[in-house]
């Protein structure tokens, strides 16, 4: 049995509107500041540089119709990063705890047999965090280590 999770169009559109609005606001305010604060204009655009590469990968998956996350009997395939993790190498799957109890975390942490961790952001996918976490745990129990 194969379970696939696709990138959510709605969350991508909302994020695109926020990023475009942010860029427009920076460009509009930069025009009013004058040339003395050129460094400030560049500094304000830095947060976008951290978000953009991941969003471009998600856009590629959205346009090609490729699932972002694929659960197969053999492995967990994370197409966002292009990596595959065999179930036998996965030790634990859990939800990332939020900082100081604020907000609802949207990350799933997968602990591998060698104690390395892989983070999967479920907030950009069509299913809820609880649904994805439940399916991951079911697959891990069924196909993982005995």
Q: CATH number for the domain including 76?
A: 2.30.29
Q: Is residue 1 part of a domain?
A: no
- Residues 135, 95 within the same domain: yes
- Residues 118, 54 within the same domain: no
Q: Is residue 42 part of a domain?
A: yes
Q: Of residues 12 and 82, which shows the higher confidence score? A: 82
Q: Is residue 116 part of a domain?
A: yes
pLDDT at 132: 92
- Residues 32, 80 within the same domain: no
Radius of gyration of the chain (CA): 19
- Per the structure, the complete domain to which residue 91 belongs is given by 69-143
- Residues 59, 85 within the same domain: no
Share of the chain above pLDDT 70, in %: 81
The number of folded domains in the chain is: 2
CA dist 11 and 123 (Å) reads 8
- Residues 17, 76 within the same domain: no
Q: Of residues 63 and 37, which shows the higher confidence score? A: 63
CA dist 14 and 32 (Å) reads 27
Q: Tell me: the pLDDT tens digits for 101-133?
A: 555 567 888 999 998 988 888 878 888 888 999
Return the bridge partners of 4, or none.
70
Q: Tell me: the pLDDT tens digits for 90-102?
A: 999 988 766 655 5
Q: What is the pTM of this model?
A: 0.75
Cα–Cα distance list, 5 to 30, 127, 132 (Å) = 40, 7, 8
- Nearest-CA neighbor of 119 among 82, 88, 78? 78
């Amino acid at each position: 049995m194969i379970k696939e999770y696709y990138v959510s169009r709605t969350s991508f559109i909302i994020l695109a509107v926020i990023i475009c609005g942010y860029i427009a606001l920076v460009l509009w305010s930069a025009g009013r500041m004058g040339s003395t604060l050129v460094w400030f204009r560049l500094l304000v655009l830095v947060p976008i540089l951290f978000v953009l590469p991941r969003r471009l990968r998600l856009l590629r998956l959205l346009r090609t119709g490729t699932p972002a996350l694929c659960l197969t009997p053999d492995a967990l395939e994370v197409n966002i990063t292009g990596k595959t993790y065999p179930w036998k190498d996965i030790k634990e799957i859990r939800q990332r705890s939020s900082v100081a109890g604020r907000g609802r975390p949207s990350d799933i942490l997968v602990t591998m047999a060698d104690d390395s961790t892989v983070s999967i952001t479920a907030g950009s996918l069509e299913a809820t965090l609880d649904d994805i976490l439940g399916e991951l745990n079911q697959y891990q129990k069924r196909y993982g280590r005995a």
